[in-house]
Chains A and B, each alone.
Chain A
């Protein structure tokens, strides 16, 4: 195809420039903001891999140097909660309880601070791997459960871990996360302190998966007394906090676990989760200690510190990476007009990513292809410079890109008199990355940038109708941000594998599926990062371009000035290291 010139040139220029992006902050408090109708925004949710939780470190502005401070004991931390139907995360596809679960339970592994890579939690060290499918875990000794009936504070054994993980993969549709563990062959206790996990095929992702909050460890006998783990009474873990009470309507109260196995921790006396509608006004009023800084609140500011200065509140900011969501325009490749490759290429060239991104993430947005903020910053994404030089992403060559795009459209038979007409679909409620306001802007942008060769209308749908239209591929283009999961691999599987749950484009490429398997079997993280980048380049190749990605951005949060040692509060399992200073 002769009109591919810019793409081809760009492809030749793709060198291995590596910019290691500085790992940024941490954590997240309650999911985004202002969930409407209780279903929350897309990112609040669902599914196996909703929550990556990663690193801590570079704080902005006033937050520096909190790590070194001397921990103080005591105090209550209050944060907002949207409420959750129950606490049995093995059976829960909706988020809401992960902060409670992550505080009350431990898991075999948890997440490191600076990347979405696993580190030991109940495991003493990372496992030995006698072969590519076997993992031997040595467990911490003397780990005690909460002193609640029927477990009554007994010591945890390897069989508890095996039981818990096996329960999570119970072969019933109710156990919604069992798909994550589908590659596991066996989980068994070798002795009281040794656990062996075998996988069906070599699987470099499985340890990250196991570090997720949903794979927590409980005591086997809990289920002899309770039918499930849904209630506060049935929540008996080994974590730093004991659930005193938790209910959908009242919120949850957790208090310090006196026999916690990590010496001297937790520092806080109590955690309180409050069911609340508008977090920000409550935070301003001092009724919450931590609060998400939703995009709506960032409008018109250059930095998160400016946001707080304007609000006249003394607080820290930090960037939460819990949800690695990425935004793009997803085209239905199976139906006109986007079944024409030239049209998809043209969309990629004409799309003005800057406007789109800055609306969704007024502070800190960055371009990205298929990967979320945490994944990019952990080094899985294409280097910043490489992305900035891609056709359609180049700021210095906008005119050329648009001209090329228009040439492609002309070749496909579209002109001002016979414009390319299509419809962008999203949620009918205003929301800066998935809502009706965002698609209005996108529609205007396409029309403006194409000089009227694109004629775009918007379609906002009620939540359930929208989800059904997605599932049944009844759309032309979706503009939305989606959670990209814990690992970069998850993101690619979801969006591009033949059976991916969010493969809206209907991208089907057996060669790509095979490459995904190869990537998944690579245990060397650095090598795997390169493989992921290759996969991203592969899907962004002009000859098979399926979607038009815009990018990703941080999920910032604010905490009142007195909170120190910010961990990944919600679900990295590190709330025990948090203290008031």
Chain B
């Protein structure tokens, strides 16, 4: 991940123009990102209204109907407990996206604070923090997650926090780099020399300048958090039932049944892949828009 420090935020500015035309222009320049945006809007809509959209009760078990094949009654078939997979895939949109978002919020908080403190304060604190970051990056990703999840015990927010912690710590170095380069700017030095308090410099000068980096990392973190949750679920360390997440559905729940009911894994996997794909293309578009070096294509 090589995102250098940016000085300007260059959103396509729609000022005084027809927003629709601005959007069309954006769509022309960034067709993939536009697809991602539209797909995400659809999924956000599903997430918001999931309980109303599901054709059947996503929680209703009916063991006698277990592992029914996809058909007119159950579009995506039923799972091992006889629940309607289509309804669960829809409902899981809500939990998976929320989990990804929560993990990303944790990650943003952690990498922003770590990066700012380490980069701006510097000195011994920086050295100490960076060694910790080194150590975290040298621990295998899954081991890190499994150890912390096991220590803290299972739970929706615990899992979001642990994933956010990992993404936060390992990405803090990028923020630190940006902070360091901003810190060397003339206007920051000037502000410091006239005695502006550090917190003010951070809020007024540093933060706005690293905002683009923060946003880009957040967009990457969102997709990777949803993926990370699915890996955790696969190993039995996932979100506790009965609330479905795609990871839980295709990981833990489907695993013993894949040779009997492959649909249990296939459909949530497709949904998850589309969403992560959309987030990633949108993130790419954002980066292109925010990163001056790659912008003018």
Q: Mark A455-469, 1 if CB is under 8 A from B, else 0.
A: 000111111110000
Check: B253 CB closer than 8 A to any chain A CB: yes
Q: Is the CB of A441 within 8 A of B259?
A: no
Check: B81 CB closer than 8 A to any chain A CB: yes
Check: B240 CB closer than 8 A to any chain A CB: yes
Q: Mark A282-307, 1 if CB is under 8 A from B, else 0.
A: 00100000000010110110000000
State how many angstroms separate the Cβ of A260 from the closest Cβ of chain B.
38
Instruction: List the A side residues contacting B252 at CB < 8 Å.
Output: 428-430, 436
Check: A444 CB closer than 8 A to any chain B CB: yes
In angstroms, Cα B150 to Cα A37, docked, is 14
State how many angstroms separate the Cβ of B67 from the closest Cβ of chain A.
5
Check: A281 CB closer than 8 A to any chain B CB: yes
In angstroms, Cα B134 to Cα A447, docked, is 50
Q: Is the CB of B81 within 8 A of A440?
A: yes
Kindly state the interface size class of chain A when it binds its partner. 35 or more
Check: A431 CB closer than 8 A to any chain B CB: yes
Instruction: List the A side residues contacting B80 at CB < 8 Å.
Output: 296, 299, 430, 437
Check: B66 CB closer than 8 A to any chain A CB: yes
Check: A359 CB closer than 8 A to any chain B CB: yes
Check: A34 CB closer than 8 A to any chain B CB: yes
Check: A427 CB closer than 8 A to any chain B CB: yes
Check: A280 CB closer than 8 A to any chain B CB: yes
Given known A355-B63, A444-B61, contact A429–B81 (CB-CB < 8 A): no
Check: A358 CB closer than 8 A to any chain B CB: yes
Of B61, B150, B154, B235, which is within 8 A of A440 by CB?
B61
B interface: dominant SS: loop
Instruction: List the B side residues contacting A26 at CB < 8 Å.
Output: none
Check: B161 CB closer than 8 A to any chain A CB: no
Given known A296-B80, A440-B81, contact A430–B256 (CB-CB < 8 A): yes
Check: A369 CB closer than 8 A to any chain B CB: no
Q: Mark B175-216, 1 if CB is under 8 A from A, else 0.
A: 000000000000000000000000000000000000000000
In angstroms, Cα B260 to Cα A567, docked, is 28
Check: A36 CB closer than 8 A to any chain B CB: yes
Check: B86 CB closer than 8 A to any chain A CB: no
- Which chain A residue has the least Cβ–Cβ distance from B242? A440
Check: B237 CB closer than 8 A to any chain A CB: yes
In angstroms, Cα B61 to Cα A280, docked, is 26
Q: Is the CB of B235 within 8 A of A37?
A: yes
State how many angstroms separate the Cβ of A36 from the closest Cβ of chain B.
6
In angstroms, Cα B82 to Cα A358, docked, is 14
Q: Mark B241-261, 1 if CB is under 8 A from A, else 0.
A: 110000000001101111110
Q: Is the CB of A278 within 8 A of B63?
A: no
In angstroms, Cα B252 to Cα A482, docked, is 22
Instruction: List the A side residues contacting B237 at CB < 8 Å.
Output: 428, 462
In angstroms, Cα B252 to Cα A460, docked, is 12
Instruction: List the B side residues contacting A440 at CB < 8 Å.
Output: 61, 81, 241-242
- Which chain B residue has the least Cβ–Cβ distance from A283? B259
Q: Is the CB of A299 within 8 A of B67?
A: yes
Instruction: List the B side residues contacting A463 at CB < 8 Å.
Output: 236
State how many angstroms separate the Cβ of A458 from the closest Cβ of chain B.
7
Of B63, B67, B154, B258, which is within 8 A of A462 by CB?
B154
State how many angstroms separate the Cβ of B260 from the closest Cβ of chain A.
6
Interface hits, B51-90 → A, CB 8 Å: 61, 63, 66-67, 80-81
In angstroms, Cα B297 to Cα A324, docked, is 69
Of B81, B149, B240, B259, which is within 8 A of A437 by CB?
B81
Most chain A C-beta atoms within 10 Å of own C-beta, residue among B67, B238, B257, B259:
B259
Check: A33 CB closer than 8 A to any chain B CB: yes
In angstroms, Cα B150 to Cα A459, docked, is 14
Q: Is the CB of A34 within 8 A of B81?
A: no
Q: Mark B126-169, 1 if CB is under 8 A from A, else 0.
A: 00000000000000000000000110011000000000000000
- Which chain A residue has the least Cβ–Cβ distance from B67? A299
In angstroms, Cα B58 to Cα A434, docked, is 23
Instruction: List the B side residues contacting A464 at CB < 8 Å.
Output: 150
In angstroms, Cα B153 to Cα A436, docked, is 15
Q: Is the CB of A431 within 8 A of B256?
A: yes
Q: Is the CB of A441 within 8 A of B241?
A: no
Given known A440-B61, A440-B242, contact A462–B236 (CB-CB < 8 A): yes
Q: Is the CB of B259 within 8 A of A430?
A: no
State how many angstroms separate the Cβ of B162 from the closest Cβ of chain A.
13
Instruction: List the B side residues contacting A297 at CB < 8 Å.
Output: 259-260
Of A281, A427, A432, which is within 8 A of B259 by CB?
A281
Instruction: List the B side residues contacting A33 at CB < 8 Å.
Output: 256
State how many angstroms separate the Cβ of B222 from the closest Cβ of chain A.
25
In angstroms, Cα B255 to Cα A272, docked, is 26
Given known A296-B260, A297-B260, contact A460–B240 (CB-CB < 8 A): yes
Q: Is the CB of A34 within 8 A of B256?
A: yes
Return the 8 tightest CB-CB contacts between A and B, nearest first. Answer: A429-B236, A296-B256, A281-B259, A428-B236, A280-B259, A299-B67, A299-B66, A296-B257
What residues of chain B have their CB less than 8 Å away from a CB belonging to chain A?
A: 61, 63, 66-67, 80-81, 149-150, 153-154, 235-238, 240-242, 252-253, 255-260
Interface pairs (20), CB distance under 8 Å: A34-B255, A34-B256, A36-B236, A299-B257, A300-B67, A428-B238, A429-B236, A430-B80, A430-B253, A436-B240, A436-B252, A437-B80, A437-B241, A440-B241, A440-B242, A441-B81, A444-B61, A460-B154, A460-B241, A465-B150
